């Protein structure tokens, strides 16, 4: 089955800096990789995802890159703002039907003003 | 994105009682819904997959008689925690999957069993 590892577990940056969170997966058949942002006590919210037919996807200050050969994908946040502070989870499909997701352990991002 | 609601948002109950949590997809039909449990500062643990019109499939270690799931329609799934005990206290979150694999989460239910 799929195994997802996420690093770092915590990340502190100054406002305006960039933040990068990395995840690795084990199943080479996986082809859908979402990233979720969860604020304290709130629901996880899908912020960006990537499918294996592309190597990079960007949405304003957020980008995700995928390296299928190395089986890792990364979330990049540029020009960080205090409201970016949250826990971020990566995920990968656990089955061939891509229904179930396996989540990483989460990264707590703190952006200091 | 799609909207998923969950009710109640918070419940406190006595040990031994049963608690029902509802999960609804408001603006799309979800043939598949998922139930997760999240401990403080931890990741999401999948408990079960709920498919409309069929029995739920449970993850290893999750007692199906303890956590009853019913997927009554394409927009509603319910999780009933039966005979709740303090160790069942947790944050329960549902999600609904749309046609292109994206999962949208409900706001969660914080269960406290006294």
CB < 8 Å from B in window 52-81 of A:
none
Is some CB atom of chain B closer than 8 A to the CB atom of A93?
yes
- Let me know: does B25 contact B102? Beta carbons within 8 Å: no
The answer to whether the CB atoms of B107 and A43 lie below 8 A apart is yes
Query: Exposed (0-12), middle (13-18) or buried (19+): which is A10, by Cβ within 10 Å?
Result: exposed
Distance of CA A84 to CAs A11, A13, B17, B37, B93, Å?
Answer: 12, 11, 39, 24, 22
CA distance B103 to B77: 15
CA distance B113 to B72: 26
CA distance A90 to A37: 9
Q: What is the pLDDT of residue A97?
A: 64
Q: For residues A43, A49, B28 and A94, what is the CA-based torsion angle, rounded to 10 degrees?
A: -80
Q: What is the pLDDT of residue B111?
A: 97
CA distance A31 to A88: 20
The answer to whether the CB atoms of B102 and A99 lie below 8 A apart is no
Q: pLDDT for A20-59, tens place per residue?
A: 999 999 988 888 899 999 998 899 999 999 988 889 999 9
- Let me know: does A9 contact A105? Beta carbons within 8 Å: yes
A113 min Cα distance to partner chain B (Å): 23
Nearest to A46 among B41, B44, B102 (CB): B102
Q: What is the pLDDT of residue B1?
A: 64
Is the model's pLDDT at A1 over the cut of 90? no
Return the residue in A1, A39, A46 with the most chain B beta carbons within 10 A, the one to mutate for interface testing.
A46
Q: What is the pLDDT of residue B101?
A: 64
Q: In tens digits, what is the pLDDT along chain B, a chain of 114 residues?
A: 688 999 999 999 999 999 999 999 998 888 889 999 998 888 999 999 988 888 899 999 999 999 999 988 889 999 999 999 999 999 999 999 877 768 899 999 999 999
CB < 8 Å from A in window 36-75 of B:
41-44, 46, 49
């Amino acid at each position: 089955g799929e195994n997802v590892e996420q690093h770092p577990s915590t990340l502190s940056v100054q406002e305006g800096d960039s933040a990068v969170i990395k995840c690795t997966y084990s199943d080479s058949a996986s082809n859908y990789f979402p990233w979720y942002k969860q604020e304290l006590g709130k629901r996880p919210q899908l912020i960006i995802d990537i499918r294996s037919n592309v190597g990079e996807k960007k949405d304003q200050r957020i980008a995700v890159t995928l390296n299928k050969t190395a089986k890792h994908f990364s979330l990049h946040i540029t020009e960080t703002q205090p409201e970016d502070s949250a826990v971020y989870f990566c995920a990968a499909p656990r089955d061939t039907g891509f229904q179930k997701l396996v989540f990483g352990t989460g990264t707590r991002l703190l952006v200091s003003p | 994105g799609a909207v998923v609601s969950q009710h109640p948002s918070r419940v406190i109950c006595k040990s031994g009682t049963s608690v029902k949590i509802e999960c609804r997809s408001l603006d799309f039909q979800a043939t598949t819904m998922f139930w997760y449990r999240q401990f403080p500062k931890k990741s999401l643990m999948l408990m079960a997959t709920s498919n409309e019109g069929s029995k739920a499939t449970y993850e290893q270690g999750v007692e199906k008689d303890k956590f009853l799931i019913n997927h009554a329609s394409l927009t509603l799934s319910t999780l009933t925690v039966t005979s709740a005990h303090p160790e069942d206290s947790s944050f329960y979150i549902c999600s609904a999957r749309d046609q292109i694999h994206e999962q949208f989460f409900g706001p969660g239910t914080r269960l406290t069993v006294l």
